[in-house]
Amino acid sequence: MERSPRGSLIAGAGRSVIDLAGYLGALTQFLARATQAALAPRFPFQIVVEQMYEIGVKSLPLTAIASLAIGLVLAMQTIALLQKFGAVHYVAVVVGLSVVKELGPVVTALMVAGRAGSGISAELGSMRVTRQIDALRVLAIDPAQYLVATRVAACVLVMPLLTAISDLLGILGGAIIGTTLGGVARATYVQTTLYYITIGGLVPGLMKTLVFGLIIGTTGAFYGFNTEGGTTGVGRSTTSTVVAASLMIFISDVVMTQILVGLGY
């Protein structure tokens, strides 16, 4: 008996929901295991510092260029609009608040996911297919603590630092365009920026990055740890990491923004 198109669609949607629930459950369980390992004795903090350098310092040029470019372009677009209303000096407000509250955190997270998240997945995936992770277990070393928890912790710690630098460079890019093409006095631009961008405006964006860092580190380690199929599997895991992390960053950003707006931020 043939199944109707509607029945096939419903069945396919049901399988998708089940697969998604299974995936989220596995990812949550993986994060819980990493958290438990991070709280265990003899946590290797030295590896966390090394990973902060690999993830944070080496990602800085990429995030810096992206943030500066966004500040420049956003100011160009904003000035063209504000000139129609004779309010060019408000370019500092538009660029500053846009960068600090939204663009800085999200763009930085996407850049780190593309570079560091894929790197974590490729590194752990290579260790998986070459049985180095099994060798750690033979040596009585917990891979969840040594490989996963350290990288997740490093991602969480470096994201606010990278975002703070990105915010500064984005605002700087806006200032360059505002004071040159827009003709806004430097003192006026600085005063307007400092007046409208307060600590209360900075904190929510930096708080988001803690979640973004958790997503990047967990997703990269999860796909790397579950790599199968040799070098081809490593490539698939790397691609899956970037796609999944980017999607979760966007979705979590929507949820957190709604929560923060509801709280008055």
**CA separation for the pair 158, 59 (Å, rounded):** 10
Q: How confident is the model at residue 2 (pLDDT cuts 50, 70, 90)?
A: very low
What are the sequence ranges of the domains in the chain? Answer: 42-262
Q: Which amino acid is at 19?
A: D
The predicted model gives 200-209 an average pLDDT of: 88
State how far the alpha carbon of 210 is from the alpha carbons of 108, 120, 185, 203, 243, in Å. Answer: 12, 18, 36, 11, 19
What are the Cα distances from residue 202, in Å, to 63, 102, 105, 121, 220?
Answer: 18, 10, 10, 31, 27
Q: Look up tokens 């939204």; give the residue.
A: 102
**What is the distance between the alpha carbons of residues 205 and 100, in angstroms, rounded to a whole number?**
6
Average pLDDT score, the chain: 87
pLDDT bucket at 14, cuts 50 / 70 / 90: low
At 262, the amino acid letter reads G
Residue 12 scores a pLDDT above 50? no
The DSSP line for 73-105 is: HHHHHHHHHHGGGT-GGGHHHHHHHHIIIIIHH
Write the CA distances from 212 to 76, 93, 106, integer angstroms: 29, 25, 8
Q: Give the length of the chain.
A: 265
Q: Residue 123's closest CA among 217, 222, 47, 224? A: 224
160 has a pLDDT exceeding 90: yes
What is the percentage of the chain residues whose pLDDT exceeds 90?
A: 49
For the stretch 218-247, pLDDT in tens is 999 999 988 888 778 888 899 999 999 999
pLDDT of residue 4: 52
pLDDT at 203 over 70: yes
Which helix (H) or strand (E) segment is 26 a member of? helix 5-38
Nearest-angstrom CA–CA distance, 20 and 24: 6
Return d(Cα 24, Cα 243) in angstroms, integer.
15
Distance from C-alpha of 186 to C-alpha of 28, rounded to nearest angstrom? 49
Tell me how far apart the alpha carbons of residues 111 and 125 are, in angstroms, rounded to a whole number. 21
Residue 135, both tokens = 């060798």
Cα–Cα distance between 149 and 133 in angstroms, integer? 14
Tokens 């408000």 belong to which residue?
A: 90
How far apart are the C-alpha atoms of 10 and 97, rounded to whole Å?
A: 44
Instruction: Say what the pTM is.
Output: 0.89
What CA–CA distance (Å, rounded) separates 193 from 44?
Answer: 42
